[in-house]
Amino acid sequence: MKKNMGITDRIVRTVLAITAIALYATGTVSGTLGIVLIVLSAVFLLTSLMSFCPLYTMVGINTCPSRR
């Protein structure tokens, strides 16, 4: 897997995931929406840690700065 996520993208995804987890943990969001947010948060955290997003590959997006 070739990295296709830049640092800004990774930080934004991590912050969104932590926020969604906090909303679920405090009971602000529950039910089906809460489950969807937890699954989405897990995907965001996993892709942030790997610096790779399969959807970006399919669409042709690359936010990772090129190495020279």
pLDDT digits (tens, 9 = 90+) for 44-68: 999 999 999 999 999 999 998 876 5
Query: What's the pLDDT at 11?
Result: 96
With contact defined as beta carbons under 8 Å apart, do 5 and 43 qualify?
no
**Rg (the chain; Cα; Å):** 14
pTM: 0.85
Mean pLDDT across 17-27: 96
**CA–CA distance from 59 to each of 12, 30, 44, 54, 55 (Å)?**
19, 32, 17, 9, 6
Distance set, CA 47 to CA 9, 12, 29, 43, 65 (Å): 10, 12, 23, 6, 17
How do residues 34-43 score in pLDDT, each as one tens digit?
999 999 999 9
Q: What is the pLDDT of residue 20?
A: 96
